[in-house]
């Protein structure tokens, strides 16, 4: 049976040599981060690579000795989906404060609950290593398509290639990381996630006009709005991402990180503006968002 080590040998990497190639199988324990990781790998690689560059206390000693990293994502038990190959460069030490000053880490924490360099880890070590991982072009066409078997235990997420077998299980026709945009009825996006939307989501939201709901998770208050201008729903929601309130009086003074955005109704792209407003007013009335039970003023 073909093993992943054989593929590495074919591109000039000696996976049988001790200390040559370290395999990482990313599987975040943060639920929200685990759900979006395929999208980050596919469409926000800078965020993924910032995440990967600081592996934490347990694997950093091994990574400092490795020449190459073979990066995978754990999407199902017993399997690993190929992300890419990296050459391990220099490392620099980050303090707790250094780590949380990096914009990528802040974004991952706010949007997806990334814990990163936790206070518990800081009590064990005052610094973590950030590695310069240089992407290699070898096998890049198989990103998201190459699946290898990953023997238990699941919690062991980094392993030396020379110490195990990783048989090729499948080569998929489509990239498993390039997930399709959900049906508009299923979309729910928290405010910190707006600035991190994948390009495929942004493209769809810019096409859709309609009525949307903002739900404040802190107290259950709701706001109904409509989007029919430039870039439609995307344009309106990005205004909230920028200002936190979109110019709406009763949203000002609230903490926007608790806002959740969803679509109540999609409307025809050629529907006249007045009819869009009429639909918006109908939703406000039915959801009682004007007055003491909501955040609409009229």
Span 159-184, average pLDDT = 93
> In terms of domains, do 110 and 243 share one?
no
What does pLDDT average to over the chain?
94
Cite the beta strand spans of the chain per DSSP E: 21-26, 68-73, 79-95, 127-136, 146-149, 158-160, 168-171, 188-190, 209-216, 222-227, 259-267
What's the confidence (pLDDT) of residue 180? 81
What's the confidence (pLDDT) of residue 114? 96
> In terms of domains, do 123 and 19 share one?
yes
Q: Which of 171, 193, 223 is the last residue of a domain?
A: 171
Q: Which of 115, 136, 171 is the last residue of a domain?
A: 171
Joined together, the tokens standing for residue 255 give: 């903490």
pLDDT at 65 over 80: yes
Tally the domains of the chain. Answer: 2
> In terms of domains, do 98 and 203 share one?
no
Q: Is residue 267 part of a domain?
A: yes
Rounded Cα distance between 46 and 229, Å, is 31
Binned at pLDDT 50, 70 and 90, residue 93 comes out as very high
Q: Which of 104, 138, 171 is the last residue of a domain?
A: 171
pTM higher than 0.85 for the full model?
no
> In terms of domains, do 154 and 214 share one?
no
What's the confidence (pLDDT) of residue 53? 98
> In terms of domains, do 136 and 276 share one?
no
Binned at pLDDT 50, 70 and 90, residue 200 comes out as confident
Report the share of the chain in percent with pLDDT over 70: 100
> In terms of domains, do 161 and 189 share one?
no
DSSP structure class, residue 161: G
> In terms of domains, do 164 and 31 share one?
yes
CA 181-177-197 angle, to 5 degrees, is: 45
What's the confidence (pLDDT) of residue 238? 94
Span 158-173, average pLDDT = 96
Task: Give the CA distances from residue 185 to residues 14, 132, 222, 226, in Å, rounded to whole numbers and listed in that order.
Answer: 49, 41, 17, 16
User: How many Cβ atoms from other residues are within 10 Å of residue 132's Cβ?
Assistant: 12
> In terms of domains, do 220 and 151 share one?
no
Range of the domain at 252: 184-287
Q: Is residue 92 part of a domain?
A: yes
pLDDT at 16 over 90: yes
Span 71-94, average pLDDT = 97
Span 18-42, average pLDDT = 94
């Amino acid at each position: 049976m073909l093993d992943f080590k054989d593929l590495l040998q074919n591109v000039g990497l000696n996976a049988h040599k001790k200390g040559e190639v370290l395999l990482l199988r990313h599987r975040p324990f943060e639920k929200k981060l685990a759900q979006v990781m395929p999208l980050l790998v596919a469409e926000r690689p800078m965020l993924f690579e910032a995440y990967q560059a600081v592996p934490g206390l347990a694997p950093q000693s091994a990574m400092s000795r490795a020449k190459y990293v073979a990066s995978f994502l754990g999407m199902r038990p017993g399997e690993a989906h190929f992300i890419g190959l990296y050459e391990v460069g220099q490392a620099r030490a980050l303090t707790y404060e250094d780590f949380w000053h990096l914009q990528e880490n802040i974004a991952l924490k706010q949007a997806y609950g990334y814990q990163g360099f936790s206070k518990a880890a800081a009590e064990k070590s005052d610094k973590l290593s950030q590695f310069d991982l240089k992407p290699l072009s070898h096998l890049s066409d198989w990103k998201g398509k190459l699946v290898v078997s990953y023997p238990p235990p699941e919690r062991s997420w980094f392993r030396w290639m020379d110490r195990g077998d990783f048989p090729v299980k499948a080569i998929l026709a489509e990239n498993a990381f390039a997930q399709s945009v959900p049906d508009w009825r299923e979309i729910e996006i928290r405010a910190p996630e707006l600035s991190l939307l994948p390009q495929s989501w942004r493209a769809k939201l810019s096409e859709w006009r309609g009525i949307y709901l903002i739900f404040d998770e802190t107290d259950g208050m709701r706001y109904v709005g409509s989007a029919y201008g430039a870039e439609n729903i995307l344009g309106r929601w990005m205004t909230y991402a920028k200002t936190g309130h979109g110019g709406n009086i009763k949203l000002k003074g609230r903490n926007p990180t608790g806002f959740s955005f969803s679509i109540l109704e999609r409307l025809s792209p050629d529907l006249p503006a007045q009819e869009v407003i009429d639909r918006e007013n109908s939703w406000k009335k039915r959801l009682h968002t004007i007055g003491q039970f909501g955040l609409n003023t009229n």
